[in-house]
Structure 1
C-alpha cells in the first residue's frame, strides 16, 4: 500500500495492489475513504488495484478551502484517474455517485464502468426546506449524525457508528451546509441523459429510505442507456459498511465484465498494441508508436499522422468498444496481421483486421485498421468525430449529415 499526492494540491490518494486495472472508490457525505476498507478486504478480483481518497472537507482534509461544489470535487477525482495511467472502474456512494458520473462523462476512454451505490440523482434531490434544515443541522453535531445514520441504515455496528461519528463530527458546519446544497441542488448535466456511454451498475440497499426505489428509478436509471440494477438485502443507505461482502461480490462480477483481465485469445501474443487496447489510454498507445507513425482506417477519410495525434485517436477509439478480443495473428517480416472481433453501441458486432508495420526497434510506424460491416464503420466514424471535436480535425471522419 502506498500514498501519492496530486502535484500542487492537497489531494492524496491511497493505492493498494499492483494490478493493470484499477477501481477508484469515492465515499459519500460525512464519510471518509476508510468506509471502503471492508469491501476491499472482501474483493477477490485478481490483478485489480484499489484506490481511495478523501474528498475536500472530509477525512484528513477538513481544513481544505472551498468551493465545495460538485465540479470541484469531480476535478479532484479526475486528477486521480488521470494519474493512474490504466483503465478504471469508478465506484461512488451517495454524494460520490454524482462525482463519479461527472468524471466518467469526461473520461470515457479511460473509465470502463460505473458503479453507483445508493445513488443520489445528478439533478439533485430538491428536498423541502424543513427537511433541508435537518441536514444543515448535522454540521458539528455527532449525535445528530449518529441518529441519521441509524435511521437510514439497517445494520451499521456500534464500532462503525462510533468511528463515523468522529469522522463526521470533525467536519466544519459551513462545509456540511455547502455539501448539502451541492447534492440537493444537483448539477445541470442531471437534467438530460447521461453523457457517459459505458456500462453502469446501480445498487440499492433494500431498506434504504433515502435512495428509495422510486427515487432511483425516476432520477437515476432513466438517464442511462445501459444500466443494470442490483439490491443488497438487509442493508440501508450505507450498504458497503452494512454488507461489505455482498457489495464486494457485486463489484467483483461487474469488474469481470467491465475490466477483463486479457483481450487476446489463445495463439495471439500479448504485445504493445494489444496491451494498449487493454489500457485504453493515450499514454499506453504512445509507448507502442514511433514518432512519425501513420494511422489508416476504414473509419477515417484520410490518414492521421504523428504520435501525438494518433495516440489520441486510438485511445478514443478503444473507449468506444464495449468488448474487444484479438482472435488470430500472423507475422511476415516487419508486418503483423491481427484479426479481431468487438462490440459497441449496445452490443453491435464489429469485426476486422489490423495490419501493423514496425521499425527495427519494434515500434509501430504504420497501422491500417479494416472494419466491417459498413453501417458500423460509418457510425463509429461519426462517434469518433464527436468525441475528438476540438482535438482532431473533424475532416478526418465521416460527417453523419452527408
Structure 2
C-alpha cells in the first residue's frame, strides 16, 4: 500500500464470494488494544496493535472500527503489520463532539492519535467519508501519510451533490434523498431505522447500499443500524459541500482508489475526476458490489490494495 509506481491504471477486478465474513467486535482476534485518546475535538476510542509498517483504517458514515473486520479477515489481519482503527468523534464508541464535525477536525484527531501512539507515518485506508478525511490528512499533514487507499470513497460526486442537491437528484439520487429525509426527520431517524429493523423490513431499506442485501450476514445489517448517526451524516454532507477538492492536487503519496460498480454514493466518474486531480492514482471497479466494498468484496479490495504496493 505504499508503492512508488504512479502510472495511472484503471481496471475491473474479478471478485470472489460475496460478503464472506461477518462484522465482529472481537478485538482480541487481531490482538488489538483499546485506548482512549484526548484530542482537541474530544475523546476518541482507538483499537490498535504495534508492528512494522502500520496501517490506519478509517471508517465511513454508518461505520466504526468493526466495519473493517471482514477486510481484516481477508488479509489475515494484515499479518504482522501494525494496526490503528479509530472511531471518529461521534461514531462507534467515541463520544459525540460538542460542535458539528468538520474535515479539519478529522485531520486534527488523526494527528493527535498518531502522536499519542508514537507513529510518525502510516499507510491510510479509508472507506466512504473516511476516504475523504484520509485525503485531507494527506493535504494538511503530508509527512504522516505514506500512501492512501480509498475504498468506496465519497469524493467529487458527493461534494457536488452536497453543494447542489437539486441537480444531484439526477447524478446521486440515493444520497440526495437520504440527506433530505434526514433533514425532515432529524433526531427521530435513528429510532425509525431501528423500528424498521424490528419489523423485518430493513433489507428493503438497505437494499440500495448493498449489491445483494439478502446475502449479507445478519451482523452486517445490525452494525449498519447501530452505527447510523443521522446528525453526523448531515454534518459530513455539510462539510463536503464547503470543501475545495482542488486541494487534493497537492497530495504526493501513492493513491489507490477502488469502488463498486453498483455504488449509489460514489460513482465511477469519481475515478476520472481523481485522475485529473491526482494523475498518478491507480483505480479499480468491482463488479457486483455496492457502497461497502470492504465488506462485500473484501478479498478483491485486499488484492487490489496489495497489488499497488508491489
Report the TM-score, using the length of structure 2 for normalisation: 0.72
Alignment pair present for 1:191 and 2:246: yes
Do the aligned partners of 1:13 and 1:54 also contact (CA within 8 Å) in 2? yes
How far apart in 1 are the matches of 2:88 and 2:261?
27
Alignment of structure 1 residues 3-402 onto 2, 5 Å:
3-7=34-38, 9-16=42-49, 18-44=50-76, 45-61=78-94, 63-84=96-117, 85-121=119-155, 124-127=159-162, 128-129=165-166, 132=176, 134-138=178-182, 139-140=189-190, 141-142=192-193, 143=196, 147=204, 149-156=206-213, 157-159=216-218, 160-168=220-228, 171=229, 173-183=230-240, 185-188=241-244, 190-218=245-273, 220-254=274-308, 256-257=309-310
Task: Deviation per CA, 1:188-221: give whole Å up to 9, x if none.
Answer: 2x13552110100010112223311123312x23
In the superposition, relative to structure 1, how do residues 178 and 228 fare at CA in structure 2: closer, same or farther (>3 Å)?
same
Q: Distance in 1 between matches of 2:203 and 2:61?
A: 13
Structure 2: which 5+ runs fail to align?
A: 1-31, 183-188
| Cα pair distance change 1:236/1:33, threshold 3 Å | same
* Offset from partner CA, 1:279-335 (integer Å, 9 cap, x none): xxxxxxxxxxxxxxxxxxxxxxxxxxxxxxxxxxxxxxxxxxxxxxxxxxxxxxxxx
Hey, which of these two has a bigger chunk of strand by percent? Answer: 1
Task: Look up the SS of the partner of 2:282 in the other structure.
Answer: strand
Q: CA deviation at 1:147?
A: 4.8
Please give the root-mean-square deviation of Cα atoms over the aligned residues, in Å: 2.5
After TM superposition, the score normalised by the length of structure 1 is: 0.56
SS of structure 2 residue aligned to 1:48:
coil
Higher mean C-alpha deviation, range 85-94 or range 31-40: 85-94
C-alpha distance in 2 between matches for 1:63 and 1:212: 30
- For the pair shown, which has the larger CA radius of gyration, 1 or 2? 1
Deviation at 1:175, TM superposition (A): 3.0
Larger relative helix fraction: 2
Render the CA deviation track for 1:253-295: whole Å, top value 9, x for unaligned.
Answer: 33x44xxxxxxxxxxxxxxxxxxxxxxxxxxxxxxxxxxxxxx
